[in-house]
Structure 1
């Protein structure tokens, strides 16, 4: 079964990843509701729960997401 390569990240997806990079303590869970699940499926962001009873979710960049932003020149050297 052939697999399709992932679509290039641009536009709203790139904007969402840059927002994750700008918020190292996590981007709120309801940010970019149509984009983040797609990025999560590609392995570029991950969702974590925190807070009391795990009701609050936050988005974080994965290592693959950081590498992609760095390769595109969207991640500055001083950002974690």
Structure 2
């Protein structure tokens, strides 16, 4: 499973929506898919799945708002 597939799987689990990932540039916050509670769940799941640490103090919603942006951030944190 590649990074984007893993992210989409997490987003589907957290939100209960099946159509996530059809547009990897869809703004998950602006479209109401993620709220603050779902964001925390997604971050915890990302940390567990990809063995990364996401400091909450450094979390900037604009950098985590799409599947593509999340994949980029995960890639940076894995390095």
Q: Same fold (TM over 0.5)?
A: no
TM-score range, shorter chain: 0.3 to 0.5
Larger radius of gyration between Structure 1 and Structure 2: 1
TM superposition score normalised by structure 1: 0.32
* Greater strand fraction, Structure 1 or Structure 2: 1
Greater relative contact order (CA < 8 Å, ≥ 6 in sequence): 2
TM superposition score normalised by structure 2: 0.32
* Greater helix fraction, Structure 1 or Structure 2: 2
